[in-house]
Amino acid sequence: MKKYLVWLDEVGIEDIPLVGGKNASLGEMIRNLSSLGVNVPYGFVVTSESYYEFIRYNNLEEEIKKILKGLDPNNVEDLARRGHQVRELIKGGDFPKEIEEGIKEYYQKLSERYGSFAVDVAVRSSATAEDLPHASFAGQQETYLNVVGAENVLTAVKNGFASLF
């Protein structure tokens, strides 16, 4: 079964391909430091499988390939134009029902954990290759802070997906 969402305390370094480096590190900190009294913010991860399923569900893969075909990486204007086109495609997509309902459920449970009806959260990327020695993605995708409410979390996640381009 595909893992579309997981709690941070369920992940570790071995899960980087599924949850990315930042999330894997947070999971390690929760698992190893919480028992020592170190407070690490709790949360959940929308996994790389969710991203790929979102792209599949909206039939975006071929359209993205068309937009990026013949891209000249040295032409900044072309990069910006094509990146904008792909971002708009993604922002116009819909979540598969299972993922949308999962995000809402996890957000509700997280809010309850913090004793809130709607806790404010940070929605940020955690690229699956960003913390590897040969790659540098840190800070290149959007981060959304103080996001409140399940619908706003869904929008921020979708915008985070789009910010990969």
What pLDDT, in 10s, does the model give residues 75-86?
A: 999 999 999 999
C-alpha 151/C-alpha 165 separation (Å) is: 23
In DSSP terms, 123 is beta-bridged to: 144
- In this structure, whether the domain defined by 5-162 belongs to CATH 3.40.920.10 is answered with no
HSE-up of residue 134 (Cα within 13 Å, Cβ side):
0
Q: Tokens for 35, please give them.
A: 């028992």
pLDDT in the model for residue 60: 98
- Beta bridge mates, 7: 44
The domain segmentation of the chain, as residue ranges, is 5-162
pTM of the model: 0.90
Tell me the per-residue pLDDT of 91-125, one tens digit each, with 9 for 90 and over: 999 999 999 999 999 999 999 999 999 999 999 98
